Structure 1
Amino acid sequence: MNSVKTYTLFTDHDVYLFKEGKHYKLYDKFGAHSVEKDGVQGVYFSVWAPNAKKVSVIGNFNNWNHKDHILYPRWDGSGIWEGFIAELTWGTLYKYAIETAYGEILEKSDPYALSWEQNIQAASLVSTTWYEWSDKEWMNSRWEVNRLESPISVYEIHLGSWVREEDSPDKFLNYRDIAKKLVPYLKEMGFTHVEFMPVMEFPYDPSWGYQITGFYAATSRFGSPQDLMYLIDELHRNGIGVILDWVPSHFPGDANGLYKFDGSSLYEHEDPKKGFHPDWKSYIFNYGRNEVKSFLISNAMFWLERYHADGLRVDAVTSMLHLDYSRNEGEWEPNQYGGNVNLEAKAFLQEFNTAVYKEFGNNIITIAEESSDFPLLTKPVHNGGVGFGMKWMMGWMHDTLDYFKLDPIHRKGSHHKLTFASMYMYNENYMMPLSHDEVVHGKSSLIYKMPGDEWQKFANLRTLYVYMYTHPGAKLLFMGDEFGQTSEWNFKQSLDWHLLQYPVHKGLQTLIKDLNHMYRYEPAFYENQFNPKGFEWIEADDQDNSVYVYLRKGKRRDDVCMVVLNLTPRIVEYKIGINEGTHWEVVFNSDDERYSGGGVDPEILKEEHKEWMNRSKSITLKLPPLAGLILKQKRDKKYKLHRIKLHKK
């Protein structure tokens, strides 16, 4: 006898929206929900399996017997199976036993489960995302931090390897223990945001979280949903935004996951030319299927609503948008217009961005990891764009690292690798990423990408960071790069925090801290970071000296800074054109002893009232070797007070 009772959380309108691809809060309906029926507490289960012959709930409450608790198919042809099981409580382990059209019994974890077991069986848990938040003040004002006209400096972190238990280095810290260490660190370092590499449940540690099976479940490696919420709550209460990596591009073929969920290609595209990813040996969502669109957009909404995330960094967008991504001729088929754009994926991303920005406005950010020149990625959907808030500036990253890897004697021929970004830097809203991808798989750590002896390596990296922080666009730095991690990132162990006992590493960390504060408190560096009015070259073509000079400008006439980069290992007396009536003061020097630099004082040696560099007068500046300088335009007395405040932080 079936011990499952009829029950539903779906209205006819819910089902209609689901089938139309327009239901964006399916987590309120699907999954396991604690409810009361006829005065009895229990759990309501619902799952989408339209091609199944039979669906039952199996678990530790019925000895995993697929004959005891059979769900009811809805009458409306939606493919939804549902029912109520009395007297089940939080923590109950369960799966769905799905009998396919061919009579095979598949044991599948719940696609909407809020928690998963952390073992090879990976059963779902009846769980809850109830949490008493304390971040109301942040939530009411976060638009000020997340808007494009605000400084956005992101610290990218892998929760399993940022830091581990001191006495048990193989043991992960709980989300709450991470909060105790991470929150004060980010606050001291001056980062505005933290980006977590995927926190959704995944089975395989070497995937770093990018092969997700539990899209609605916070990984139990580090604790419960409430533990993760506590971490986010603490970050918010300390003024730090949270960006989550989100992976709507693919999923693994684990037996208990989404692959062949009801015996058919339900979530993945049936055609392997569109549904199988050759690089990652994973499966690609069918973006043309309405129910799948509802699943994915609801998932984005879930993390933004239930976990108070301030943004989503969308992984592998390039692979989503291009039918020929990582495929040879004959392994892909053009779209209806003969092109290589996946029109269904583009439409999905447009709908995703439209939906989340409609729901949350400018309180949140969506960021595309996209490495091609796909047009209008960060332009509004109503103007033909894809609707992202920002895009990773991959071209800037590659050109910058290619340049800085060169011995200074060879930089002359590659001078314009550092100027080329100015040709396109306002085409999109860019974030400059020095991410985890640049310090793994034999690429070496950032510090060991730099040429020369130890002094030159650190001097080069300090100058690269000055260039990054003074370049238009938001910033992203991967954990460990702020203090010069010497080994490649290893997800199996903690960062090498012991390196901070050495002055060169401590000095580099101090430089990042000061650059973060400079970026946050100098309007010249952020107010127009996505506006062409915010940048002007003074000298872009001096390849013989490997010197670059440019201005950054805020909205006020007085908010102007000059950046000078000397990318040779020699002290240079350098003449720079300035405008009549302007006076300058050096306010930042990457060669300062504070940063374990050489301590060369970048003096303004003389000022001449003769035209130079198409400007009416000039200054001659002493440039330290392999150094970046920031000069402030002195127009009033307020700045000196501001400068003192900056150095006290």
Structure 2
Amino acid sequence: MNSVKTYTLFTDHDVYLFKEGRHYKLYSKFGAHSVEKDGVQGVYFSVWAPNAKKVSIIGDFNNWNHKDHILFPRWDGSGIWEGFIDELPWGTLYKYAIETARGEILEKSDPYALSWEQNIQAASLVSTTWYEWNDKEWMESRWKKNSLQAPISVYELHLGSWIRDEEDPKRFLNYRDIANKLVPYINEMGFTHVEFMPVMEYPYDPSWGYQVTGFYAATSRFGSPQDLMFLIDELHKNNIGVILDWVPSHFPGDANGLYRFDGSHLYEHEDPRKGFHPDWKSHIFNYGRNEVKSFLISNAMFWLDRYHADGLRVDAVTSMLHLDYSRNEGDWEPNIYGGNVNLEAKAFLQEFNTAVYKEFGDSIITIAEESSDFPMLTKPVHDGGVGFGMKWMMGWMHDTLDYFKEDFVNRKYHHHKLTFASMYMYNENYMMPLSHDEVVHGKASLIYKMKGDEWQKFANLRTLYVYMYTHPGAKLLFMGDEFGQTSEWNFTQSLDWHLLKYPVHKGLHNLVKKLNNLYKTESAFYENQFEKNGFEWIEADDLENSVYVYLRKGKRRDDVLMTVLNLAPKILDYKIKISSGTHWEVIFNSDEAEYSGSGVEAEILEEKYEGENQKFMTIKLPPLAGIILRQKKDKKYKLHRIKYKR
């Protein structure tokens, strides 16, 4: 006898939008929901399995028997199966037993489940995302923090290895324990945002979370959904934004996951040239299928809505947009125009960006991890763009790290690796990433990418950070890089926090704090960070001395900062042309003893005119150092800040 009763949360309009690919709140319909029927509390289940012969609920409540609790198929041909079961408590384990057209019985976890077990064949749990939030003030004003005219300095971290239990280093901390340590640390360091590597449920630790199985479930490694919400809530209460890594590019072939969900290629593209990823041995979503688009865009909405995320960093966008990504000739099929762009994936990303910005406005931000020169990623969809708020500046990252790996005597031959980004830095809205990908798989930690002895390595890295923080664009630094983690990132253990006992590491730590503070307080660094009038080269071609000089400009005419980088291990008395009538003061020097530098003072030796209206400033430059100068305000002019309009 079937113990499932008829029930539905779907209206005809819900089904219509789902089939059209325009239902963006499917998490309120699909999955397991606690509801009341005829005065009895129970759980409503619904799942999409259009090619199934039969779907039943199995779990610890019926000894995993697929014959007792059979769902009802909807009459409308939508492929939705649904039903109500009396008196199931929170925490009930369940799966869908799906009988395929060939008679197989597949045991699948719920694609919309809010919690999963933590094991390789994990079942779903009847759960809830109810939480009493305390971040109203943040939510109402966060548009200011996510504005392109605001400082955005991101600390990227992996929750499983940022810090672990001190008494048992193999044990993960709970989200709440992490909150107690992370919030004061981010406040101390001055970052404006954190970015969590994927928190969606995943079975395989070495994937770092990028092989997602439970797209709507916060990973139970670190606690419950409410525990993660507490962590985000505490960050918000301390004016810290939260960006989540989101992976709509692929999923693993686990037996309990999305692959061959109802015995057919339901979520993945059936053509392996489009549906299988050769690098990651995973499966690629069918972006041309409307129901799949509804699933994915609803998932993005879910994390922004239920978990109050302030942004999504979209992983592996390059692989999504290119049909020939990591494929040899003959292993991919051109689009209808003969090109290599995946038109369905592009259209999906445009729909995703349009939908989330329509729902949340400028209070959130989407960020593309994209490494090619794909055009107009951060331009509006209505102008033909893809609609992202920002894009990772991968070219800047590669050129910069390549330069700092060079011997000092060879740097003059690679001088323009540090100037090349200025040729394209306003083509998109860029975030400069020094991310986890740069400190794994034999690439070495950032400190060991630097040339020279120990002092020179740290001096180089300090100057690299000065370059990053004073360059146009938002900033991202991976955990451990702020104090000079010496070993490559190891996801199985905590960062080497003991290094902060050593002066060179503590000095680097102090420098990052100071740079975050300068970035947030000096408006010339952020007001025009995505505008062409916010940057000007003063000296870009001094190959022999390895010196770079540039200006950053705010909205006020007199709001100007100068950065001077000396990337040679020698002290220079350096002459710089400056505007007539201007005066300058040094406000930062990476060579100060506070940062474990050599303590050489960056002092202005003289300012004088040479010829008619040709003014020069001579300044002592410490070795391997970055200095920042502020233009002194001229009392002759009464200048007003241009009011920023939202």
Q: TM-score range by the shorter chain?
A: over 0.9
Is this contact kept in 2: 1:113–1:126, CA < 8 A?
yes
Mapping for residues 274-353 of structure 1, pairs under 5 Å: 274-353=274-353
Aligned to 1:221: 221
Q: Matches of 1:525 and 1:259 in 2, distance apart?
A: 47
TM-score (norm: length of structure 2): 0.98
Residue identity in the other structure for 1:631: L
Give 1:203's aligned residue.
203
For 1:397-476, what aligned pairs fall within 5 Å after superposition?
397-476=397-476
> Map of 1:51-200 to 2, 5 A cutoff?
51-200=51-200
Aligned: 1:267 with 2:267: yes
2:244 pairs with 1:244 = yes
- State the alpha-carbon separation in 2 of the partners of residues 619 and 522 from structure 1: 22
Alpha-carbon distance, 1:636 to partner? 5.5
**What is aligned with 2:383?**
383
Residue of structure 1 in register with 2:640 after alignment: none
Using the alignment, how far apart are the partners of 2:184 and 2:435 within structure 1? Answer: 22
SS at match of 1:144: helix
User: 1-side partners of 2:633 and 2:84: how far apart?
Assistant: 72
Distance 2:24 2:634 in 1: 52
Which digits, 9 at most, give the CA deviation of each residue in 1:29-78, with x for residues without a partner?
00000000000100000000000000000000000000000000000000
1:125-166 Cα shifts (integer Å, max 9, x gaps):
000000000000000000000010000000000000000000
Residue in 2 that maps onto 1:44: 44
Shift of 1:353: 0.1
Contact map agreement 2:483 2:509 (CA 8 A) in 1: yes
Q: 1:164 to 1:611 in 2, by over 3 A?
A: farther
Cα 1:581–1:9 change in 2 (3 A) is same
Could you tell me which residue of structure 1 aligns to residue 644 of structure 2?
Answer: none
Q: Indicate the residue corresponding to 1:619 in structure 2.
A: 617
Of 619, 624, 628, which residue of structure 1 is paired with 2:626? 628
SS in 1 for 2:36: strand
Q: Which runs of 5+ in 1 are unaligned?
A: 638-649
Q: Percent identity over the alignment?
A: 85
For the structure 1 residues 593 and 35, does the alpha-carbon distance in structure 2 shift closer, same or farther, using more than 3 Å as the test? Answer: same
Which residue is 2:598 aligned to?
598
Alpha-carbon separation, structure 1, partners of 2:91 and 2:170: 26
* Structure 1 position 557, deviation (Å): 1.1
User: What SS does the aligned partner of 1:168 have?
Assistant: coil
2:529 is aligned to 529
User: How many Å separate the matches in 2 of 1:256 and 1:120?
Assistant: 9
Task: List structure 1 segments (4+ residues) > 2 angstroms apart after TM superposition.
Answer: none
**Counterpart residue identity of residue 472, structure 1:** P
Contact 1:602 1:624 in 2 (8 A): yes
Cα distance in 1, alignment partners of residues 9 and 601 from structure 2: 70
| SS of alignment partner, residue 130 of structure 1 | coil
Instruction: Quote the Cα distance in structure 2 between the aligned partners of 1:511 and 1:578.
Output: 27
| Alignment match, 1:500 | 500
Residue type of the partner of 1:578? I
SS in 2 for 1:122: coil
- Distance, in Å, in 1 between the alignment partners of 2:247 and 2:14 is 25
TM superposition shift of 1:558: 1.8
Cα displacement (A) at 1:616: 2.4
Taking the aligned partners of 1:62 and 1:21, their CA distance within structure 2 comes to: 35
Name the amino acid aligned to 2:170: D
SS at match of 1:456: helix
User: Amino acid of the residue matched to residue 242 of structure 1?
Assistant: V
- Aligned residue in 2 for 1:253: 253
AA aligned opposite 1:315: D
Unaligned runs of at least 5 residues, structure 2: 636-646
Cα shift readout 1:591-640 (whole Å, capped 9, x = no counterpart): 0000000000011111111269xx72001000000000000001158xxx
**Residues in 2 aligned to 1:610 and 1:190: alpha-carbon distance in whole angstroms:** 42
Q: Per-residue deviation at 1:120?
A: 2.6
Q: Secondary structure at the match of 1:480?
A: coil
* Partner residue, 2:552: 552
- SS of the residue corresponding to residue 33 of structure 2 reads strand
Distance (whole Å) between structure 2 residues aligned to residue 121 and residue 405 of structure 1: 45
The one-letter amino acid of 2:431's match is M
Q: Which residue of 1 aligns with 2:358?
A: 358
Give yes or no for the alignment of 1:22 onto 2:22.
Answer: yes
SS across alignment from 1:411: helix
The Cα offsets for residues 384-404 of structure 1, whole Å up to 9 and x where unpaired, read as 000000000000000000000
Task: Give the conservation status (yes or no) of the 8 Å contact 2:582–2:634.
Answer: no
Question: For residue 354 of structure 1, what is the amino acid of its counterpart?
Answer: T
Structure-2 separation of matches of 1:121 and 1:51: 23
Letter in 2 for 1:621: I
Contact 2:121 2:255 in 1 (8 A): no
* Contact kept in structure 2, 1:577 and 1:611, CA below 8 Å: no
SS at match of 2:325: coil
Check the 8 A contact 1:611/1:618 in 2, yes or no: no
Q: 2-side partners of 1:18 and 1:201: how far apart?
A: 24
State the AA in 2 paired with 1:493.
Answer: Q
Report the secondary structure of 2:56's partner residue.
strand
In 2, the alpha carbon distance for the partners of 1:259 and 1:283 equals 7
Supply the RMSD in Å over aligned alpha carbons: 0.8
- Cα pair 1:51 1:100 within 8 Å, conserved: yes
Aligned residues: 635
Secondary structure of 2:594's partner?
A: helix
CA distance in 2, matches of 1:603, 1:407: 27
Once the 2 structures are TM-superposed, how far is the Cα of residue 588 of structure 1 from its aligned partner?
A: 0.3
Q: How many Å separate the matches in 1 of 2:242 and 2:290?
A: 29
Query: Deviation string for 1:322-381 (max 9, x for gaps)?
Result: 000000000000000000000000000000000000000000000000000000000000
Q: What is the rounded CA distance, in whole Å, between the counterparts of 1:392 and 1:609 in structure 2?
A: 43
Shift of residue 422 of structure 1?
0.2
Q: Distance in 2 between matches of 1:135 and 1:118?
A: 30
Q: Measure, in 1, the Cα distance between the counterparts of 2:606 and 2:379.
A: 46
**SS of residue matched to 1:154:** strand
Looking at structure 2, the residues matched to 431 and 401 of structure 1 have their Cα atoms a distance apart, in angstroms, of 16
Q: Is the 8 A contact 1:51 1:101 kept in 2?
A: yes
Distance in 1 (CA, whole Å) between partners of 2:205 and 2:119 is 12
Task: Assess if the C-alpha contact under 8 Å between 1:268 and 1:283 holds in 2.
Answer: yes
Range 111-120 or range 226-235, more displaced: 111-120
1:647 is aligned to: none
Aligned mates of 2:526, 2:547 — CA distance in 1: 23
CA displacement 1:158-191 (0-9 Å, x = unmatched)? 0000000000000000000000000000011000
> 1: CA distance between counterparts of 2:392 and 2:407?
27
